[in-house]
Structure 1
Amino acid sequence: MRCECLFFLLIYSLRIDSKSDYQWSYDQDFFNGPQYWGRVVKEWWMCERGQIQSPIDIQPKQLLFDSSIKPIKLDKVQVVSEMVNVGQMIRVRIGYSRARPSVNITNGPLNGYQYRVQRIDFHFGNTTHNGSEHTINGRRYPMEVQLVAFNTDIYPNFTTASKSPHGIAILSILVDFGEETNMELLKMTIATASVTYKDKRVQLAEFEPWRLLPMTRDLITYEGSLTTPGCDETVTWILLNQPIYITKDHFFEWSKLYFSQESQIKAPIGPNYRATQKTNNRLVRTNIQHKTNHNCKLSVGRVFYRANQYSMRKN
Structure 2
Amino acid sequence: MCSKGKMQSPINIDPSTLLYDPNLSPVHVDKSTVASEIINIGQMPRVRIINSARWPSVNVSGGPLNPYRYRMQRMDIHFPRGALFGSEHSIDSKKFPMEIQMIAFNSDLYRNFSSAVASPHGIAALSLLVQIGKKTNEELLKMTIATSSIRFKRKRVELLDLKPWKMLPHKADYVTYEGSMTSPGCHETVTWIIINHPIFITREDLDSWSQLQQTITEEAEPRYIGPNFRTLQDPHGRIVRTNIRHRFKENDAECKKRLSDTWYRSNPNRTEAYPKRKMIHRRRHHSKPPIKDELL
Structure-2-length-normalised TM-score: 0.85
1:71 aligns to what? Answer: 26
Q: How does 1:194-209 map to 2 (within 5 A)?
A: 194-209=149-164
Offset of residue 205 of structure 1: 2.6
Seq. identity, %: 50
Shift of residue 294 of structure 1?
A: 5.6
CA distance in 1, matches of 2:204, 2:100: 18
In the alignment, structure 1 residue 279 sits paired with structure 2 residue 252? no
CA distance in 2, matches of 1:230, 1:96: 24
Residue-by-residue CA offset, 1:49-74 (whole Å, 9 max, x unaligned):
00010000000101100010011100
Deviation at 1:210, TM superposition (A): 0.7
Moved more, 232-241 or 295-304: 295-304
Moved over 6 A (4+): none
1:299 aligned residue (257, 261, 264): 264
State the Cα distance separating 1:300 from its structure 2 match.
4.4
Which has the larger displacement, 296-305 or 282-291? 296-305
Tell me how far apart the structure 2 counterparts of residues 244 and 154 of structure 1 sit (CA, whole Å). Answer: 31
Q: CA deviation at 1:136?
A: 0.6
Query: Please, which runs of 5 or more residues in structure 2 have no aligned partner?
Result: 249-255, 275-296
Per-residue deviation at 1:266? 1.8
2-side partners of 1:204 and 1:115: how far apart? 22
- Equivalent residues in 2 for 1:1-315 (5 A)? 46-264=1-219, 265-292=221-248, 293=256, 295=258, 297=262, 299-302=264-267, 303=270
After superposition, give the CA deviation of every residue in 1:51-108 in whole Å (9 maximum; x if it has no partner). Answer: 0100000001011000100111000000010000000000000002223111010001
Runs of 5+ in structure 1 lacking a partner? Answer: 1-45, 306-315
CA distance in 2, matches of 1:190, 1:156: 33
Aligned partners of 1:94 and 1:119 also within 8 Å: yes
Displacement after TM superposition at 1:126 (Å): 1.3
For residue 118 of structure 2, what is the amino acid of its counterpart? Answer: K
Q: Deviations over 1:272-302 (max 9, x none)?
A: 0000001111000000012212645453423
What number of residue pairs does the alignment pair up? 261
CA-CA distance at 1:129 after TM superposition: 4.7
TM-score, length of structure 1 as denominator length: 0.80
Q: Which amino acid aligns with 1:182?
A: N
- Give me the CA root mean square deviation: 1.7
CA distance in 2 between counterparts of 1:154 and 1:298 reads 36
Counterpart for residue 291 of structure 2: none
Q: Is the 8 A contact 2:152 2:217 kept in 1?
A: yes
- 1:112 Cα offset (Å): 1.1
What one-letter code is carried by the residue in structure 1 that aligns with 2:222?
K
Aligned-pair distance for 1:251? 0.7
CA separation in 2, counterparts of 1:165 and 1:205? 32
2: distance between equivalents of 1:263 and 1:295?
Answer: 52
Higher mean alpha-carbon deviation, 80-89 vs 265-274, is at 265-274
For residue 217 of structure 2, give the secondary structure of its aligned residue in structure 1: coil
CA contact (8 A) 1:129 1:271 kept: no
Q: Give 1:125 deviation, angstroms.
A: 0.5
CA distance, structure 2, for counterparts of residue 181 and residue 79 of structure 1: 20
Q: Could you say what secondary structure the match of 1:270 adopts?
A: coil
Matched residue, 2:283: none
Following the alignment from structure 1 to structure 2, what is the Cα–Cα distance between the partners of residues 78 and 202? 17
